[in-house]
A and B are shown apart, each in its own frame.
Chain A
């Protein structure tokens, strides 16, 4: 044999011989390379920069690059450490048979180069092939219709991929060599069968786990307004992650030991073997299972929220746009109202043939603090008691709806979509009010606001003004607070897409340059595609990350099953000798494996249920008003995920039994 070919050949044989553990590893490498190249290529594509809402989409995708890159590093290191553990014996044997550490290093260098080469070539190759498809998916999701054709290689993506994975592979090689350098051959030889101690019960850790988990859930369930949700979300997520790790590692063992203490429960044929080996199983697998659990939760959260955001796009648009074209005028004084009304009328007449359903009215909106039916001025937003209040003067309501309410000074009607019912008597600022009736619907409400707990209150014109004046006085007592306590004069109409530009121009000319301030006109034809691009980008990233996390989950499960298999082999043998039948053992082991692998899935689902309220609030903040959609998306995503998870389990369980029964 050629001297130069020795190490490469050896390396090749090693990889082939360890196919059972190397094949999935190489697949993972290829998959990660593929995904990283693609997210880079799409984010840095010239085409992406020309899309509607390109800025935001690029930010979202770049965030994706960071997440995937970080994930690739952690994940490849994790799988590599598993590989090395399995191969310790083999390397020890080489060492004893006369290969120096230097030779082993050369061999491992060749192995790493081969794996890196295969992963990068295939990963990037497939990446380039798939790139077009993925780009098309992104464009489709974003609602873009004119699609550029032709294959291309994204050199920026290529460069980044090569750099990142080059570094990862070098680091992996260095860490492997470091491990080899530090160990004795005998140690290597027995590396995978060092005697195991029974895990200690970590009471403190268990309590910490319970506390963190409790805190996380408490925060998640208590959150009420979307604004709070954003801030609290991260704290709650971190609490739950810490809690999950602590409870999986310490809590599970404490629980099992508690079971073992109960002699009547423990010394039963079914429980005896299961409980005792579960203690060891949890010791070795707790971290891996917690990883799976967190990853699964992420897959579920990311996918269900992005799917529902995307699916609820139409609803969100309809909720936000009472009319297809709309704006608001800032009315500082009631005295302006006739002038504004006249100007709007004139503006509308000029564009008469281009608009329909003109709507204009003024109202007063503010966030208020509620306490026992008493709404007050508030300095800061608080968690529970903040409500959005829109006060609509009686005259305006009657003008829009063409009905008469006949309200006395102290009487109100109200409408709410999501807040609790008001008592008969309430108080706003210093003014006591009586609820005359509840409105079934309110046609002019901007229902995207319904994300907050909100009341739309119709009161007599003078009462509305009185409340506003009291608010202004309360605000003046505060130093350094700038509050917008003006009326808002809404103006909106339905327009066709062709006419929208002309109407905006004309209205802007008619309404600006007066002593009131006109807001920017928004139309559904511009905002719609922008939103679609944004949500499409989110959805795409969600799918992308979901796939990546799923891949990671599958791989961890696979490696767990394999390593469990090798460890259980010996136990299986002994139990058989001592008088357990094959069937009994298979049943005992089967139920343990089942618990171990479905524990993370079940926990992930519980997490999702716990996080549901918080995520739905967040979605509301992003404009999704139809929570029904989110419920169904979550259930759908969870179901699909569970099916995939179960399939992976069945496939890996077969591998597991093959190993266990090899003896």
Chain B
């Protein structure tokens, strides 16, 4: 069984007085196997963020289902949804979303504290993780004291510390310089190799070329997808660029 299954997902935004209706997602279907590293690409307004918000259970679809390990996200009760999100999903955002009132360490601890874990257990979990992510030395610092790349690595640590079934990343490289971007993508590839399922929404061809599969969304539908197979990053990059060109110029994909 697939880890994540999205079926006939539809989302219509209605303006406040019911005047205009905007269809963000028309009919989205795809599934993610355990251990996959998926990139979702598309232009602005294609519905990427709406899709991610629904997957993150931050938003409800108009119709359709999202199954995570067979559990339907759209029917979870409001009061259980936070705990569900905390225990099963990990998030990485474009603008890091670290709380400036916490040290980096405490930011990483946040989801665990919310789940009521003891300090010693949290401490046991953060050690190996911090080492892997190379943030051991800055744990006591505050978000405003470190660089964007370091902030994002802490955000990754916060996403991973709950051992989530799937990590959802929304433009994780969007606010980073090219060096930090490379580092982060390397990190994603590493954790993917460790068996972590990742779903990333991105604009960046460079970022997408690291994934094991790329989905393209256009006008609220999955328009095309590319499997890496045994392609190199280089080859993958080329292929994604070609597809994007086709997408932009409105032609049919050549496969």
Contact = CB atoms under 8 A, between A and B. Distances in A.
Contacts of A267: 109, 113, 118-119, 122
Nearest to A265: B119
B125 interface: no
Interface stretch (A243-251, A391-399, A580-588): A580-588
Contacts of B98: 574
A263 B122 CA distance: 11
Given A276-B106, A571-B99, A581 B79 contact: yes
Interface in B104-125: 106, 109-111, 113-114, 116, 118-119, 122
B119 A272 contact: no
Given A277-B101, A579-B82, A584-B82, A195 B106 contact: no
A338 interface: no
Contacts of B86: 578-579
A198 B119 CA distance: 23
A3 interface: no
A251 to B, nearest CB: 19
Nearest to A272: B113
A277 B102 CA distance: 8
Given A277-B101, A571-B101, A580-B82, A198 B142 contact: yes
Nearest to B155: A578
Contacts, number: 72
Nearest to A277: B101
Interface string A196-211: 1110000000000000
Contact of B119 (A264, A577, A580, A583): A264
A577 B93 contact: yes
- Chain B residues touching A, majority SS: helix
Given A571-B99, A579-B111, A581-B82, A197 B144 contact: yes
Nearest to A196: B100
Contacts of A578: 86, 91, 97, 110-111, 114, 158
21 contacts: A195-B144, A196-B144, A198-B142, A267-B109, A267-B119, A267-B122, A269-B116, A272-B106, A272-B110, A272-B114, A276-B102, A571-B99, A574-B98, A575-B110, A576-B82, A577-B97, A578-B114, A578-B158, A579-B86, A581-B82, A584-B114
A279 interface: yes
Nearest to B58: A577
Given A578-B158, A579-B86, A195 B111 contact: no
A578 to B, nearest CB: 6
A310 B81 CA distance: 61
Nearest to A194: B144
B244 to A, nearest CB: 29
Residue of B85, B99, B101, B106 contacting most chain A CB atoms (<10 Å): B101
A397 to B, nearest CB: 74
Contacts of B116: 268-269
Contacts of B111: 578-579
Interface string B126-150: 0000000000000000101000000
A581 B144 contact: no
Interface residues of A, number: 27
Contact of A269 (B91, B99, B113): B113
A522 to B, nearest CB: 67
B119 A269 contact: no
Interface of B: 56, 58, 78-79, 81-83, 85-86, 91, 93, 97-102, 106, 109-111, 113-114, 116, 118-119, 122, 142, 144, 158
Residue of A195, A198, A577, A579 contacting most chain B CB atoms (<10 Å): A579
Given A195-B100, A268-B113, A574-B97, A579 B83 contact: yes
Contacts of B97: 573-574, 577-578
Given A577-B58, A581-B82, A276 B113 contact: no
Nearest to B109: A267
A570 to B, nearest CB: 9
Nearest to B100: A196
A577 B52 CA distance: 12
Nearest to A271: B113
B231 to A, nearest CB: 34
A75 interface: no
Contacts of B78: 581
Contacts of B118: 267
Contacts of B142: 197-198
Interface in A255-288: 263-264, 267-269, 272, 276-277, 279-280
Contact of B114 (A197, A198, A571, A579): A579
Given A197-B144, A272-B109, A577-B58, 11 more contacts: A196-B144, A197-B142, A267-B109, A267-B119, A276-B102, A571-B99, A576-B82, A577-B56, A578-B97, A580-B82, A580-B114
The 7 closest A-B pairs by CB, nearest first: A579-B86, A581-B82, A195-B144, A272-B113, A574-B97, A267-B119, A579-B85
A264 B118 CA distance: 8
Contacts of B83: 579, 581
Contacts of A576: 58, 82
A583 B79 contact: yes
A197 B100 CA distance: 8
A198 B144 CA distance: 10
Contacts of A579: 82-83, 85-86, 111, 114
Nearest to B162: A579
Contacts of B56: 577
Residue of A264, A267, A571 contacting most chain B CB atoms (<10 Å): A267
Interface in A544-596: 571, 573-584
A269 B111 CA distance: 10
Given A195-B144, A267-B122, A280-B101, A577 B91 contact: yes
B114 A263 contact: no
Nearest to A268: B113
A592 to B, nearest CB: 11
Given A195-B100, A571-B101, A263 B119 contact: yes
Residue of B82, B97, B111, B158 contacting most chain A CB atoms (<10 Å): B82
Given A196-B144, A267-B122, A276-B106, A574 B113 contact: no
A583 B80 CA distance: 11
A465 B80 CA distance: 91
B60 to A, nearest CB: 14
Contacts of B144: 195-197
B102 A269 contact: no
A577 B97 CA distance: 9
A195 B102 CA distance: 13
